[in-house]
Amino acid sequence: MQAIPVVTIDDLIEGYEALLFDAYGVLVHSEGPLPGACELLARLRQIGKPFYLVTNSAAHLPEHAAFRYQRFGLPVEPEQIISSGALLKPYFAANNLQGTRCAILGPEDTYRYVQQAGALAVPPAEDFDILVIGDQVGFPFLESIDTVLSRLISKFDRGLSPPLILPNPDLIYPKASGFGITCGSMAMIIETVLKQRYPDRADTRFVHLGKPETALFEEAARRAGTQNLVMIGDQMDTDIRGASRYGIDSVLVSGGVAELRFYAHHPEWWPTYRLPHLQHSL
Ligand SMILES: [Mg+2]
């Protein structure tokens, strides 16, 4: 396995104009901050170093996410949060999906994101034109998946092709007690069932909006006003692969979802550096 150079946070502060952080597995887990995160963001704020949270979460509007992070002790403002939920609006506009009935698997804020995108957000029990998976909570899980699957099968049987949209392709996320499944795993259940029933159809896959697609990085560069950015993440196939696709450097932090030792055969997703922890000296 290729040796990945180790960096410190000080190296990153010195080497790049703005820092991009993934949230889950880097700064927070589902119940609180990760070690060193509060001190690091407080220091960045104090020295005036621009930073943004580039997150695949579509479960919270930026103002609610910021409030939540602030309660954890992280000094983050809403305008520093770039979430995959916010990509729904430009996607709906580009694909003429405003005014459609959009079923949501997710909490209240996913409904808000879809409403902001100009569609009518409905619960999974109601008929729909398109489907968005926004989170793994906020609805009765099994019952809702079954309902959505039944409706999708009915539509596909009639030759319809309802758009399937996945802002957050992450499969798992870190919890205080281990890991939990999230949106990408839910989409895989639906895709697997549809693929089995309709093996010759090409429209049974979800469209992915978040990392490793480049839209979140494009928005980060726009807000930061520079391309001299570095992405600090814990997932190889979203954070690191996405940064590589967009053409910026990346850093894999230890202790999150991915461990480098399991990725010996994926050189195209390789991080520029690795960071053992968020504290400012080794
Ligand atoms: Mg993460």
- Number of Cβ within a 10 Å radius of residue 161: 11
Task: List, for residues 226-279, the tens digit of each pLDDT value.
Answer: 999 999 999 998 999 999 999 999 999 987 667 776 776 676 778 999 998 887
Which protein residues have a CB closer than 5 Å to ligand 1 (ion)?
Answer: 22, 24-25, 234-235
* pLDDT at residue 280 in the model: 60
How far apart are the CA of 204 and the centre of ligand 1, in A? Answer: 26
* pLDDT at residue 1 in the model: 56
* 9-56+212-275 and 86-208 in the same fold: yes
Q: What ranges do the domains of the chain cover? A: 9-56+212-275, 86-208
- pLDDT at residue 281 is higher than 70: no
Of the two residues 172 and 114, the one the predictor is more confident about is 114
Task: List, for residues 6-40, the tens digit of each pLDDT value.
Answer: 999 999 999 999 999 999 989 998 889 999 999 99
Q: Which has the closest alpha carbon to 83: 187, 183, 228, 164?
A: 183
Q: How far is CA 55 from CA 149, 202, 266, 278, in A?
A: 27, 29, 23, 18
Which CATH number fits the domain 9-56+212-275, given the four candidates 3.10.620.30, 3.40.50.1000, 3.30.1360.30, 3.40.50.920? 3.40.50.1000
- pLDDT at residue 185 is higher than 80: yes
Coil, helix or strand for 249? strand
How far apart are the CA of 129 and the centre of ligand 1, in A? Answer: 31
Phi, psi dihedral angles at 180 (to 5 degrees): -135, 155
How far apart are the CA of 28 and the centre of ligand 1, in A? Answer: 9
Average pLDDT on 184-200 reads: 97
- Per cent of the chain over pLDDT 70 is 94
User: Does the predicted TM-score (pTM) go above 0.95?
Assistant: no
CATH homologous superfamily of domain 86-208?
HAD superfamily/HAD-like (3.40.50.1000)
Residues 6+ apart with CB under 8 A from 11: 273
